[in-house]
Amino acid sequence: MSIVPHDEGIRVSHIKRAPPAMPSVEWIAAYPSNQSGDKPLEKIAKDLHAERYQCTTLLGASEYQLLSVDAPTVPRDELKTAIRWRLKDMLDFHIDDATIDVLDVPADKNSPVRGHSMYAVAARNQVIEQRQALFGAAKISLRVIDIPDIAQRNMSALLEPEGRGLALLSFDSDGGLLTVTFSGELYLSRRIDVTPTQLAQADGEQKAAVYDKITLELQRSLDHFDRQYHFIALAKLLLAPLGDEGVGLQEYLAANLYMPVESFSLDAILDIAKVPELKSLDMQQQYFLTLGAALRVEGKVL
């Protein structure tokens, strides 16, 4: 079960996996936080019997930094210590105040052995401790504190054409998020400073300027990806569900980028039969990362 805070409250989702069938969305729920004295986490724990689930949550875009670093040539049990040394001059806060995790970026299997990159995720200890305390006070056992980039990676892994990379662009209140995945691994993640509200409110020349900004950021990021990971052929750019704004943006990007640009609906990769409200693209946009977080599968740990 994923329990994800947002501007107006908390969104919750539960997904069951039973391969080879598509992952099944069992239910979704929203808990507003604007009521006086309201404690939505405690209500979630009681209403949804949170003790029955493995629970995960996501940090907001401003609560962590995702940094690309060269992988140190050290034994696995010394990896995080070595990464801390590399990050000490890259963070906007002291390294002693940081909680660090690492994510491997696989190198080209067909190239001679050489160094490769990793992603380091850094968050202030205070942010992690506060999130743990909130869930602890509600008696919710929090198994994982994740990040949106990985939640989107989980979605992208279900959409990838075999043997090809996939670029995926989504939007929420924190802005745009571009990821590139290949063989289920995250190779690139970039933020774009445009929100769905800005897309919806823009018109005429203002809308064209917003579209141009998104296009330029995509071109820069995808050109960087091509230079860095020339061994991965990108199949296309997919635009995550975006409600009414999706059609215009998809058409604009398709006309201005060098690769195919397509939109998709979540029912292409998820069984949403039990949650008919997810037939709405607006609802799919709202719950996109919450559902992505619920798709998490525990794998190897670095």
Burial class of residue 273, CB neighbours in 10 A (0-12, 13-18, 19+): exposed
Secondary structure (DSSP) of 169-235:
EEEETTEEEEEEEETTEEEEEEEES--HHHHHH--THHHHHHHHHHHHHHHHHHHHHHHH-TT--EE
Residue 221's pLDDT band, with cuts at 50, 70 and 90, is: very high
With beta carbons less than 8 A apart as the criterion, state whether 171 and 194 touch: yes
pLDDT of 150 higher than 60: yes
pLDDT band at 143 (very low <50, low <70, confident <90, very high): very high
Better pLDDT: 128 or 79:
128
194 has a pLDDT exceeding 80: yes
Which pLDDT tens digit goes with each residue over 35-59?
555 689 999 999 999 999 999 999 9
Write down the pLDDT at residue 129: 97
User: What pLDDT is recorded for position 163?
Assistant: 93
Domain extents in the chain: 1-58+266-302, 65-128, 160-264
Q: Is the whole model's pTM more than 0.75, yes or no?
A: yes
Report the alpha-carbon distance of residue 152 to residue 179 in Å, rounded.
7
Q: Which CATH number applies to 160-264? A: 3.30.420.40
